[in-house]
Amino acid sequence: QQQQQQQVGEEDNDDDDYDDDYGEDECPLGDDDIYGDDDDDDEMDYINDNGDDDAVDEMIEEMNLISTGEQATVTVIKLTDEEIKEKLLESDAMKEEGNNLFKQGEFQKAKDVYSRAIDNCLSITDRKVGPYFNNRAVCWFRLEDWEECVKDCNKAIELNPPYPKAMLRKAQALEKLEELESALEEYKKIIELDPRNGAALEAIMRLPKEIEEKQEKMKEEMFGKLKELGNMCLKPFGLSTNNFQMVQDPNTGSYSINFVQN
């Protein structure tokens, strides 16, 4: 509970967190302070935990590489606690490099470095891997690849729930994709964790009207297409949809169709 309160609070003082420099809506990076002591073995969670902890067993499995879409054989290795810590330290150094590139506006290069940090921890599901996905999601957002941003936010949230910064970035990307209903639901989840989150509060006040306008626009477009189709069918008979009027019954709300001779 103490960790969750620290995560959703308005301020954190970790040197890797650039909210104070960029504003929370601009660059939610870092969050190392929410993960606890790196030396706490109880907070380590890694795959394939079977057999002797000191053994390093290899197994081969077929995986679809999302980045290339190609089929490949990948070796997944069971790591010892020390090996996990070492890989996390290596990826943390890469994250620092990515953070520096991001501050310089090198979003593509920063994204590539965060990808290296992620690839270095493919077999690790420790929650400290979450910020690598979160930071890469910020880069995807700046590069205007909203779908990839949502994917990385989902992974960050999966690794380290709850993750308000990743949730906020996901909601903003969903807005860019015009998935307004899904974005609104994500903002509501953020408010449950952080009732004073300004960006989420603003979105919750704004989106319902935008959703209604979007639905009305879609309805008009649908009726327009139906009218075009109707006119095509009626034209051989010397008729059009203008010959038919829909009249709503004020008592029941149902519609009746009246024929009008031109």
Tens of pLDDT, residue by residue, the chain (262 residues) = 444 444 433 333 333 433 333 333 344 444 433 333 333 333 223 223 333 434 333 333 333 444 444 555 555 568 899 999 999 999 999 999 999 999 999 999 999 999 999 999 988 999 999 999 999 999 999 999 999 999 999 999 999 999 999 999 999 999 999 999 999 999 999 999 999 999 999 999 999 999 999 888 887 788 778 778 877 887 787 777 777 777 778 888 787 777 777 6
**Distance in angstroms (rounded) separating the CA atoms of residues 27 and 105:** 11
Q: What is the predicted pLDDT for the residue at 181?
A: 96
Distances (CA, A) of 49 to 59, 130, 222: 13, 20, 54
Report how far Cα 195 is from the mean position of its chain's Cα atoms.
20
Residues 6+ apart with CB under 8 A from 243: 234, 259, 260, 261, 262
Respond yes or no on whether the N-terminal peptide bond of residue 162 is cis (omega within 30° of 0): yes
Structure tokens at 199: 């960006």
Alpha helices, DSSP H, located in the chain = 2-8, 19-22, 81-103, 107-119, 130-142, 146-159, 164-176, 180-193, 198-234
d(Cα 119, Cα 31) in Å, to the nearest integer? 20
Determine contact, residues 106/143, Cβ cutoff 8 Å: no
The tokens describing 95, both together, are 């994250």
Rounded Cα distance, 256 and 247, in Å: 5
Question: Letter for the amino acid at 78?
Answer: K
What whole-number distance in Å separates Cα of residue 242 and Cα of residue 76? 67
pLDDT of residue 226: 75
The tokens describing 45, both together, are: 């969670």
pLDDT at residue 238, rounded to an integer: 77
The single residue listed with the structure tokens 């606890």 is 36
Cβ atoms of 90 and 120 within 8 Å: the answer is: yes
What is the predicted pLDDT for the residue at 176?
97
Token pair, residue 20, equals 């104070």
What pLDDT score was predicted for residue 179? 96
Nearest in space to 76 (alpha carbons), one of 56, 55, 51, 59: 59
Distance of alpha carbon 61 from alpha carbon 126, whole angstroms: 21
